[in-house]
């Protein structure tokens, strides 16, 4: 099995397990897109150099697709690099105890509020301690190293902020890890208690048992991580690993049989690479847990980067930090992005001649209309 198509082969072999009404619609939709990606099921574009014709199948654009997601991440990093000011940044990772993971797994709609909770904690701490507003960007992640359901937040936060009352940029903030942990713990536990009180929390535990769990977890230490980044590019590369792609890289899949999947991962305790065995059905079920629901953004912006505030403060912010405000770069076309990031010239034939767009094959109508060389037959060519 080819390295690049391992996920597709696994999804195809287990379609009866994920393509039914008991599975979330977002999972069925995204997995079906992955199976059709770069095939003639989605249609194709025709390019010609005069003597040769190339058929380029359409891609699925799904965030669960390894190839489509990777290209989308690179384009996102390019845009964010141009729009973010060149100031110092830190990365804050908010985690939660493992006994709370199943609660969010059974109540996925609560996941949408976690970025707002985490950024509210940081903004409140910065306002009280330094009297400033910060730049905040959140990448929400749900998977652990072993594909387990592990909800946590990766937050990009500026280490300097805007003091509106004084009209100046205040730099070199020192983050208090203990204070942030206490505030994050309080915010999340209160949120869960309110959800329980409103009777919107589903769990196999009773209400009294949930209250006991919340009380116990509120009294323990929670791990959070704070790292400083040398530049915004470093964080964008770091965040890009968690964006718009499956939680497991295809190169980590060692072997697939009729019964199981073997994939490797790094054990953080032993600092060694270990191989995990999992049934095909179990592997796909774990992947399905990390497919986001429809209309859920992979990245969310708060503080001075929030959509409502950014148009009014962006120009003043760049002026205060003494930098020229950049314009949003034009989105790279399909051909230009492949040339820039992968070193591939898709619009050049095997003899080095440039190719031009010659037509389009409609989805469905083109099935069976391409021979082994990728050239359309006469019946299909007449539809172009």
pLDDT value of residue 173: 80
Q: Is residue 342 part of a domain?
A: no
Q: Of 270, 305, 320, which closes a domain?
A: 320
Q: Would you state the structure tokens that stand for residue 268, as one six-digit string? A: 């953080």
pLDDT tens-digit readout, 151-184: 999 999 999 899 888 888 888 788 999 999 999 9
DSSP per position, 286-339: HHHHTSPPTT--SEEEEETTSTTTHHHHHHHHHHHTT-PPPPPPPPPPHHHHHH
Closest CA to 71 of 81, 87, 60, 57: 60
DSSP strands (E only) in the chain? 44-48, 53-57, 89-94, 135-143, 149-158, 161-163, 168-170, 224-229, 253-256, 260-267, 272-279, 299-303, 356-361
- Whether residues 268 and 301 fall in one domain: no
Q: Is residue 363 part of a domain?
A: yes
pLDDT value of residue 4: 61
Residue 213's domain comprises: 66-247+291-320
Name the pTM for this structure: 0.86
- Whether residues 254 and 243 fall in one domain: no
Q: Of 305, 320, 335, which closes a domain?
A: 320
- How big is the CA angle at 369 (ends 368 and 375), to the nearest 5 degrees? 130
d(CA 125, CA 132): 9
Q: Is residue 155 part of a domain?
A: yes
- Whether residues 227 and 274 fall in one domain: no
The number of C-alpha atoms within 13 Å of 291 and in the hemisphere containing its C-beta is 23
pLDDT tens-digit readout, 49-71: 988 888 889 988 888 888 787 88
Split into its structural domains, the chain has a count of: 2
pLDDT tens-digit readout, 228-251: 887 888 888 887 777 777 888 888
Q: Comparing 348 with 371, which gets the higher pLDDT?
A: 348
Q: What is the mean pLDDT of residues 348-356?
A: 88
Cβ(44)–Cβ(58) under 8 Å?
yes
Residue 248 phi/psi, 5° resolution? -125, 120
Q: Is residue 315 part of a domain?
A: yes
Q: What is the mean pLDDT of residues 23-29?
A: 94
């Amino acid at each position: 099995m080819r390295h690049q198509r391992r996920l597709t082969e696994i999804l195809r072999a287990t379609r009866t397990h994920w393509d039914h009404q008991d599975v979330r619609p977002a999972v069925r939709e995204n997995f079906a897109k992955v199976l059709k990606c770069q095939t003639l099921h989605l249609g194709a574009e025709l390019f010609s150099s005069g003597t040769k014709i190339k058929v380029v199948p359409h891609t699925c654009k799904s965030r669960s697709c390894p190839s489509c997601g990777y290209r989308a991440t690179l384009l996102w990093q390019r845009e964010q690099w141009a729009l973010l000011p060149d100031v110092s940044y830190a990365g804050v990772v908010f985690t939660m105890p493992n006994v709370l993971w199943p609660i969010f797994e059974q109540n996925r709609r609560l996941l949408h509020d976690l970025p707002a909770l985490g950024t509210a904690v940081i903004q409140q701490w910065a306002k009280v301690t330094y009297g400033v507003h910060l730049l905040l960007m959140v990448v929400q992640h749900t998977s652990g190293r072993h594909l387990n359901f592990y909800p946590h937040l990766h937050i990009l936060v500026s280490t300097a902020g805007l003091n509106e009352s004084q009209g100046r940029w205040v730099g070199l903030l020192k983050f208090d890890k203990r204070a942030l942990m206490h505030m994050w713990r309080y915010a999340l536990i209160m949120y869960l208690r309110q959800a329980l009180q409103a009777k919107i929390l589903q769990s196999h535990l009773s209400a009294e048992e949930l209250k006991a769990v919340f009380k116990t977890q509120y009294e323990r230490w929670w791990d959070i991580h704070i790292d400083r980044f040398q530049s915004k590019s470093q964080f964008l590369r770091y965040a890009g690993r968690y964006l718009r792609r499956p939680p497991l890289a295809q190169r980590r899949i060692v072997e697939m049989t009729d019964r199981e999947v073997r994939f490797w991962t790094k054990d953080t305790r032993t600092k060694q690479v270990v191989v995990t065995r999992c049934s095909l059905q179990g592997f796909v079920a774990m992947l399905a847990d990390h497919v986001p629901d429809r209309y859920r953004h992979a990245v969310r912006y708060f503080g001075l980067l929030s959509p409502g505030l950014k148009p009014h403060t962006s120009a003043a912010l760049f002026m205060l930090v003494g930098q020229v405000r950049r314009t949003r770069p034009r989105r790279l076309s399909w051909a230009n992005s492949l040339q820039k990031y992968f070193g591939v010239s898709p619009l050049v034939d095997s003899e080095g001649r440039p190719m031009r767009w010659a037509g389009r094959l409609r989805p469905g109508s083109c099935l069976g209309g391409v021979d082994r060389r990728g050239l359309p037959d006469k019946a299909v060519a007449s539809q172009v």
